Amino acid sequence: MKRLIIALLAALLLIASGCAKKTIRYQAEFLGVFDTVTTIVGFSESKEEFTALVGRIKDKLTEYHRLCDIYHSYEGINNIKTINDNAGIAPVKVDKELISLLLFAKKQYYATDGKTNIALGSVLRIWHDYREKGISDPLSAELPSRKLLEQAARHTDIEDIIIDTKASTVYLSDSGMSLDVGAVAKGYAIERTARYFEGDGVSSLLLDVGGNVRAIGGKPGKNGMEPWNIGIKNPDKESKDTELCSVLISGYSVVSSGSYERYYTVNGTRYNHIIDPSTLMPASQFTDLTIICRDSGLADALSTAVFIMPLEMGKKFVEGLNGVEALWVTGTGEVIYSKGFKSFLKVTIKE
């Protein structure tokens, strides 16, 4: 009897080992979504299976990209550009997902005391045009006039965004208003996409859309599931260290806002793309601000808001939020982080 039991156990072990699915690490990259590089890392039984999943993810992200586009129109789609084109004219019927995004963005406006404001489009467009001109012709680079910025700022009242959830329409009651969802759209799209595929059974995947990172679960390792290793870019491009530090995450998001990539120079001074609504000027006290939390949309909105806040205000604000941690890099290179940030660190931050 003992021999029979041993033989049966051995047979069961062989069957189990034969049925065990071996997964391989794959990585894919593509351009076009939110005008940046998307990188997807995952584990699959075959390249074909992984490629099919990447295609589905790209399709989902593309849907959000088109809905949030402020520059281009798409056949059969009413997007942010459509809403802006109809400012002061008529309500625009839009997809429920766009309604959800705009409601989320308005919520973040109030949560951040107006620091993250999607109604700032008229001001952001001016800075965008001056920045593009300054980059293409550095010798002629100049700042927009205060008068021009103040005129545009008269059309940035968040209350002028009229959302009718029942009719699924959006109306800008101010004809001079222009929406710009750049501070929230990418993170929101990543989060919604991640949740969609989590619901579809995906348990291990890393999404990186232009530096906005969202981990679905952990990754397979020698001792079971392990956290993903995420490097935070060093804002000092002259440093030999390309990464400031590394963090380990499972099911979390890492989003950074920085002044070191999108900027232009006027009379020797750099002016970045993150505009403080209270001054109408680029925020300049930090070179990098990184947020870690579970929701990528929230991380995106907070990375802009906290970048704009003075340091002590930002620290108090972050530490008053559950499950949110932050890292600041000042203009002098000093690194400061919130109380719970250490729990994510793999490599000690240089201070």
Percentage of the chain with pLDDT > 70? 93
Write the CA distances from 332 to 24, 160, 235, 250, 311, integer angstroms. 43, 40, 11, 32, 13
Q: What is the pLDDT of residue 238?
A: 82
How many whole angstroms separate alpha carbon 184 and alpha carbon 108? 9
| Residue 19 domain flag | no
Decide if pLDDT at 133 tops 60: yes
pLDDT averaged over every residue in the chain: 92
**Which residues are CB-neighbours of 233 under 8 A, at least 6 positions away?**
211, 242, 243, 244, 256, 258, 288
How many whole angstroms separate alpha carbon 332 and alpha carbon 335? 9
| Residue 39 domain flag | yes
| Residue 296 domain flag | yes
What contacts 24+ positions apart, CB below 8 Å, involve 346-349? 346/229, 346/245, 346/246, 346/247, 346/248, 347/245, 347/246, 348/245, 349/244, 349/245
Predicted TM-score of the model (pTM): 0.90
How many whole angstroms separate alpha carbon 147 and alpha carbon 43? 54
Q: What is the pLDDT of residue 349?
A: 45
- Give per-residue pLDDT as tens, 7-49: 333 333 333 334 446 789 999 999 999 999 999 999 999 999 9
Please give the tally of structural domains in the chain: 1
| Residue 184 domain flag | yes
CATH number at residue 109: 3.10.520.10
- Dihedral sign (CA 314, 188, 132, 277): negative
- Give per-residue pLDDT as tens, 189-230: 999 999 999 999 999 999 999 999 999 999 998 888 999 999
| Beta carbons of 239 and 272 less than 8 angstroms apart | no
| Residue 18 domain flag | no
- Give per-residue pLDDT as tens, 144-179: 999 999 999 999 999 999 999 999 999 999 999 999
| Residue 8 domain flag | no
Residue 246 is part of which domain span?
24-351
| Residue 13 domain flag | no
